[in-house]
Amino acid sequence: MPKAVNLKDAYTHLDPLSPLEGESMRQFYASRPAHASIDFLINELLIDPSSDDKTLFTGHRGSGKTTELARLESCLSETHTVIRFDVERRVNLGDVDYADLLVALGLEVYRHSQMIDVRLDEKKVEDLRFWYETYVLEEDEKRRFRTEVGAGLNSLLGNVSLKLSTESPRRLTVRKEAQANLSNLIERLNDLLQDFQEKTNRRVLVVVDGLDKVYHLGKVSDLFINGINALLAPQCRIIYTIPFALYNTNDFQQVRLSFSRNVVLSNIKVRERDGGPCDEGREFLKKVLEKRLAKNVISNSAKELLVESCGGLIKEMIALARNSVVKALTMRGEGGCIEAEDVEYAARQVRNTYSGLLTEEHYKELWRINCGGVFLNGPLARELLHNLSLLQYNGNDAWWAVHPIIRPLVLNWGEKTGAKKQ
């Protein structure tokens, strides 16, 4: 995958919804700065002999968690069977429940065994299939399933997945049945996991990605608080991604103590706490762009503005760059170059979405922090973390700053209201 040499190719290379993996990982990945690396997690998973532990993994949305988890999978491939479980594709993010997750997890384990051609014990597969047939299918579906020639667990996959992802009452029926018979499912799932590990002579690591995208913090909080025992029950290694704002709640402090490790993927620093530039972070973000775009496609001033505007969020920078490409194509054609004015246009579009989102209370809190006020954990601060108006950075101590794209709105609010600096 060569670098983009024109704006049309640049648009293709700057897809914020496509995490790096495979060839794109080899071509476009840039090693993160030491202050924002997960090398320590990879090393710990390699040296820890456990085959049954659970890890919480968090960080701002758009900070690069999915890409780092893909790199982790590659680093552990010789000692582990890594099963990537994208929650967003399998369950309903508007109303996710621990029973939904475990029902989907059983399907993912079986899917992966088929994909890598591991022949699991037929009786254990049949036991799992029987659970899904008994507790997920409705009577007419059971009759149809039993009459199919050669029907097996594969025949259930699409049916069950649809039930978990839909908004219909059928999903709630599946959940009710699953909750009432969860211990039975876990027993069958663990039998299958044990057989999987024996057949491959590798530990199983399931990466449950996407929980940080759950719409309502209360939903994912209930998932872990009420379903903690169920989420810890599968006898394999699991990494659960969680929303960064949830990680900072009082209720969650007891939950995280039940996990073997809690890992925060630190945001890339564009500036230091005192406001001075962070050269290491800025050079990394420029390298991310330079791996995808040839020099003739983007001006240095545009590159600098993208780095400054994203606040260290890689996905934000890629999205801004792509929207800048669209503007540049309109203004200069396919052979043109991304200029700073295109980035300013893309940043304004993002800023406009926040202008209709932020409340008076949001502005007051953002103004206070922008004026040097200390971070005060609470519902309001967590809302700002969740919608990315407020970003956390780690140096010697954690510190917080208003997202650079939002800052003009905050300054304008302060000027209009005559707010005093704290």
Per-residue pLDDT tens for 14-59?
A: 999 888 888 889 999 999 998 889 999 999 999 999 999 999 999 9
In this predicted structure, which of 12-16, 176-180, 284-288, 348-352 has the lowest mean pLDDT? Answer: 176-180
Provide mean pLDDT across the span 153-158.
Answer: 57
Provide mean pLDDT across the span 287-310.
Answer: 97
Class for the domain spanning 7-13+276-353: mainly alpha
Residue 62, token pair as written in the block: 């758009």
Consecutive H or E run containing 209 = strand 203-209
CA dist., res. 255 & res. 197, Å (int): 28
Provide mean pLDDT across the span 135-149.
Answer: 61
Instruction: Decide if pLDDT at 151 tops 50.
Output: no
In this predicted structure, which of 71-75, 116-120, 146-150, 240-244 has the lowest mean pLDDT? Answer: 146-150
For 201, the 3-state DSSP assignment is: coil
The length of the chain, given as a count of residues = 422
Residue whose entry in the numeric block shows the structure tokens 């001033």: 301
Measure the N-to-C terminal CA separation of the chain; round to a whole number of Å: 51
Instruction: Decide if pLDDT at 318 tops 60.
Output: yes
CA dist., res. 87 & res. 90, Å (int): 5
Sign, CA dihedral 404-409-413-416, equals positive
pLDDT tier at 106, thresholds 50, 70, 90: confident
pLDDT tier at 150, thresholds 50, 70, 90: very low
pLDDT score of 157: 58
pLDDT tier at 392, thresholds 50, 70, 90: very high
Consecutive H or E run containing 155 = helix 153-165
Instruction: Decide if pLDDT at 346 tops 80.
Output: yes
Residue 24, token pair as written in the block: 């794109």
Give the rounded percent of residues in the chain with a pLDDT score beyond 70.
89
pLDDT score of 77: 92
pLDDT score of 69: 93
CA dist., res. 292 & res. 10, Å (int): 7
pLDDT tier at 142, thresholds 50, 70, 90: low
pLDDT tier at 138, thresholds 50, 70, 90: low
pTM of the model: 0.89
Given a contact cutoff of 8 angstroms between Cβ atoms, the answer to whether 420 and 414 are in contact is no
Provide mean pLDDT across the span 351-375.
Answer: 94
Provide mean pLDDT across the span 300-321.
Answer: 97
In this predicted structure, which of 3-12, 304-313, 387-396 has the lowest mean pLDDT? Answer: 387-396
Given a contact cutoff of 8 angstroms between Cβ atoms, the answer to whether 238 and 83 are in contact is no
pLDDT score of 133: 77
pLDDT score of 422: 60
Give the rounded percent of residues in the chain with a pLDDT score beyond 90.
59
Residue 160, token pair as written in the block: 């069950």
Instruction: Decide if pLDDT at 102 tops 60.
Output: yes
CA dist., res. 73 & res. 42, Å (int): 9
CATH entry, 39-264, from 3.40.50, 1.10.3470, 1.10.10, 3.30.1120: 3.40.50
Where do the domains of the chain lie? 7-13+276-353, 39-264, 360-417
pLDDT tier at 101, thresholds 50, 70, 90: confident
Q: What is the pLDDT of residues 257-285, one digit of tens each?
A: 899 999 999 999 999 999 999 999 999 99
